[in-house]
Amino acid sequence: MARPRRIVLLRHGESEGNADDSVYTRVPDHALRLTAKGRDQAARAGQELRALFGDDGVSAYVSPYRRTHETFRELRLDPTRVRVREEPRLREQDWGNWQDWHDVRRQKAARDAYGHFFYRFSQGESGADVYDRVDAFLESLWRSFQAPDHPPNVLLVTHGLTMRLFCMRWMHWSVAEFESLSNPGNGETRALVLGSDGRYHLDRPFERWCLPEPYGAP
C-alpha cells in the first residue's frame, strides 16, 4: 500500500454567499461563484501548495460546486503532476433547494442552539448525513492507496464543515469535540501528515470556540 505523505484539505475561497447570504434566494448554492477576494485567497493558497508539493505528484479531489472548481483553477497546479477528479461526496451540507433568506437565518440560529452535527435543515441534510458520505468517500480513498504508483500527496478542495467532519472521522473525534471547533477560514488548509510512527497527525488544530462538554459531565 502506497500511503501518501500528506492529505491536504482546502476550503474554497470566499464565495458570493459568504459575502452576501441573500444571494441564496436567487442563485442555487452549487452555482455560487468566487468573489474577487475569494480568487485572491485561492491564488495565495496555490502559491503555498506549489511550494509544499514541489515536483511530487498530487491526487486531487474537488467538490462539484462551482466555487470549489474555481478555487482549484486558481491554484495553478502543474497539470502534468496532478490527476484531478470531481468528487460529489465532498460537497457542502445540503440546505435544500431555493432558499428563503429569513428561513435560512432562522434555521442557522436553531442549528447553533441544537448542535451542528445533529440539526437537520428542513429540506436538506444534518451534519451527521455529511459525516456518513465522508465515511463512504474515505473507504474509496483508502482503496486508492493500494495502487503502487499512488502520488505522495492528496488534495481535497471542499467546504469548511466537510473539512471538520473529514477530520472528525479520520481522527475519531467525538461529537462533543467536533462541536467545540470552528470552520477554517476561506482559502485555509489543514493537512494530515504521515509521521514516523505510521500515523497521520493534523499539522495545526482547528480553532476552538468552546471546551467540549461530553455527555455525563457534571
Segment among 13-17, 102-106, 153-157, 176-180 with least mean pLDDT = 102-106
41 domain residue, yes or no: yes
Does the reported pTM lie above 0.85? yes
CB within 8 Å of 159: residues ≥ 6 apart: 11, 12, 63, 65, 68, 90, 91, 92, 93
- Domains in the chain, number: 1
Task: Say how far apart CA 167 and CA 100 lie, in whole Å.
Answer: 31
210 domain residue, yes or no: no
- Residue 27 sits in a domain whose CATH number is 3.40.50.1240
46, 30, 67: which is closest to 155 by C-alpha? 46
137 domain residue, yes or no: yes
User: 215 pLDDT exceeds 80?
Assistant: no
The 8-class DSSP code of residue 128 comes to H
For 86-99, write each residue's pLDDT tens digit. Answer: 999 999 999 887 77
Quote the pLDDT of residue 1: 65
211 domain residue, yes or no: no
For 66-80, write each residue's pLDDT tens digit. Answer: 999 999 999 999 999
* Set 12, 69, 116, 159: catalytic member: 12
Tell me whether residue 12 is one of the annotated catalytic residues.
Answer: yes
Quote the pLDDT of residue 7: 98
> What residue numbers bound the domain in which 60 lies?
6-202
Span 188-203, average pLDDT: 97
Quote the pLDDT of residue 3: 93
164 domain residue, yes or no: yes
15 domain residue, yes or no: yes
Percent of the chain with pLDDT over 70: 97
Quote the pLDDT of residue 114: 92
Look up cell 491526487; give the residue.
Answer: 59
208 domain residue, yes or no: no
Tell me whether residue 92 is one of the annotated catalytic residues.
Answer: yes
Please tell me which residue, 201 or 25, carries the higher pLDDT value.
201
* Set 16, 70, 92, 177: catalytic member: 92
213 domain residue, yes or no: no
